[in-house]
Each structure stands twice: as C-alpha cells, then as structure tokens.
Amino acid sequence: MSTTSSSGFSATLETLIGFCAAHPVPDMDAPRFLGRLNTGPQAIIDWRDRGVVAVLLDAVIGSNGAVPFEVVGLAGGKLSPSLAADLLAELARRAVTLGAKASELAITLVWAPHRALAEAAGYRHAYSDCEMICRNADWGRDAPLPAGAQWHDAWPDWVDDYIRVLTSGFADVPGAFVPRPEEIRRYLQQSGIRARILIENGQGIGLLRYTEPDNYINAVVRAGGQKGRGIGRLVMDEARRCLVTNGRNDAPMTLTVVDTNAAAIELYRRCNFEIDREVAVLIRRF
C-alpha cells in the first residue's frame, strides 16, 4: 500500500484541493475542511495514488472529545471494500496520534456500503442527522420580541456575542462542533453566509445562521440560560423573514438536526418542517 506519511508530507494544500475539485464528494467543503478545520498534514490522509483524500477535523473536536472524519476527494465516487478497511485502520492510527478520544463517521452514500466494516472496527451508532425541509412557511404570525430585544447582523459589530451564544448554546449537544473563534470570524465573512443575532439589553440571547441562495439554515441557537423563553420560535420567525418574506427565490427552507434533540425537532415540526432523510453517525472510542 502506497501512502504519504505525515513526516514526508510534501503535497501543497492547493494540489490537494485541486484533486478534490476534480473528484468531488457531495456536500463536502474540501477547501474549508483541508485548509482550516484540521491541525495540519498529520490530520490529512493523502492517498491520491489510491484515489482518495480524507481528513480528521481535529480543529473542531466536539464536547465528547470526538473528531469527525470526512472523505473529501474520491476518484470514481466509490470506495472499494479494501480501501474502506484501510482508511478505517489509518483513521484509528491518526486519531490516537492526534490525541482524539473518539472519532465520528457519518454513514453517507460513500460509507453506506461499508457500514458493517466500520462496525467490525468498533464503531457503534451514536445518533442520526435528520435532514428536514419546509415547503410551507405559513406557521402563524411572528411571535413578539421581548421588550428591549432587537435583531442585528452578527458581522462585524456583534461577532463576539455571536461566538458566546454559539458556544453556550451548543455545549453538550451531540453532533455540534464549534470551530475556533478565528475560524468563526473568517466563516462569517464568506460570500453567501448570513448570520443574525438577537440582542436583549446588550446581551445575545439567540442566533440564526443561514446560507444564500439555497435557503439552508445552518444554525438555530438559544444561548445557555435562556431555556423556556420561546427563543427558538423567535429565531425561526427571523429565518422566515430572511429567507421567505424577504428572500429572492422560492426554494424550500432546509436544515439538519440530530435525532436526540427532541425539543428542536418538535420546534421545527411546529414550523412545518418534516424529516426528509436521516444519516446515521457512528462513533468509535479510543
């Protein structure tokens, strides 16, 4: 088996991204994953000679100590059983070297044929990502904002509050990975990324992040300590205003939520979202 070791890593980031652009994997942001969400060459499995590039996103370790693993470039669009088995073995070696407590593997179309291999390697079901869709945004009048509360663009004036709300709201949520502050700042400046924050008396209490023009809701977050105030509904109303009422296309709104977050799923159902697809996420502890 021919590989490029971390000690002998010589391929440039641009070359890796170029390979991934030529051999894309659906829904993978290869430039971001390779360029910013890992700690460097030791987290990248550069097996272009075997038709694959994969990465451990160890710059966004979850609260449970788990590191997501993603295939970001794949020639032919499929993994052979032998390549899948070798990737899982290399993933385990790299994860331990990087000090990860666990790794997470989403059973996407790439991994679906090899779930049994992953389970034989020690992976077990942790949760499922539920992809939800809203084709009818008529869920009633907007709920009134609390006295003294206003929505603001998060970038640039409220970015510190945005980071605090994101971090506190995602604490201990399975499947929630919060990047480092510098990456959050960089991400918010990207074309098509929009972020709104609800400020009450100078303090962030909720936030919304979405992607234009595909009407994808990236994040609906209630700040820690704000439970029971209806913040989630306020965020969803803001999403409707931004994406439907003032939107520029007729695409349905979509989002992804973990199946263990029953309260969030119930909120989304009340806002006419329905589950369109589920993707199992497996975890292996080291």
User: How far apart (Å, rounded) are the C-alpha atoms in residues 58 and 69?
Assistant: 9
Give which of 64, 60, 58, 54 is closest to 111, Cα–Cα: 54
Is 13-122 assigned to CATH 3.40.630?
A: yes
Q: What is the pLDDT of residue 116?
A: 98
Q: Read off the DSSP letter of residue 7.
A: T
Q: What is the pLDDT of residue 7?
A: 40
Angle at Cα 264 formed by Cα 260 and Cα 267, nearest 5°? 140
Give which of 259, 194, 270, 261 is closest to 230, Cα–Cα: 270
Report whether 197 contacts 204 (CB < 8 A).
Answer: yes
User: How far apart (Å, rounded) are the C-alpha atoms in residues 163 and 20?
Assistant: 30
Q: Which CATH architecture has domain 133-278?
A: 3-Layer(aba) Sandwich (3.40)
Residue spans of the domains in the chain: they are: 13-122, 133-278
Q: What is the pLDDT of residue 248?
A: 63
Burial class (CB in 10 A: 0-12, 13-18, 19+), 284: buried
Report whether 89 contacts 121 (CB < 8 A).
Answer: yes
Q: What is the pLDDT of residue 10?
A: 46
Q: What is the pLDDT of residue 250?
A: 77
Report whether 198 contacts 149 (CB < 8 A).
Answer: yes
Structure tokens at 112: 């679906």
Per-residue pLDDT of the chain (286 residues; tens, 9 = 90+): 334 444 444 457 999 999 999 999 998 999 999 999 999 999 999 999 999 999 999 998 876 789 999 999 999 999 999 999 999 999 999 999 999 999 999 999 999 999 999 999 999 999 999 999 999 999 999 999 999 999 999 999 999 999 999 999 988 777 778 888 999 999 999 989 999 999 999 999 999 999 988 899 999 999 998 989 999 999 999 999 999 987 666 789 999 999 999 999 999 999 999 999 999 999 999 9
Alpha-carbon separation of residue 30 from 72, 86, 204, 273 (angstroms)? 5, 21, 32, 29
Alpha-carbon separation of residue 273 from 120, 236, 268 (angstroms)? 36, 11, 5
Give which of 265, 267, 257, 199 is closest to 232, Cα–Cα: 267
Q: Is the peptide bond before 213 cis (omega within 30 degrees of 0)?
A: yes
Report whether 94 contacts 42 (CB < 8 A).
Answer: yes
| Segments in the chain forming alpha helices (H) | 13-22, 30-35, 81-98, 115-120, 159-169, 181-188, 231-240, 262-270
Report whether 24 contacts 13 (CB < 8 A).
Answer: no
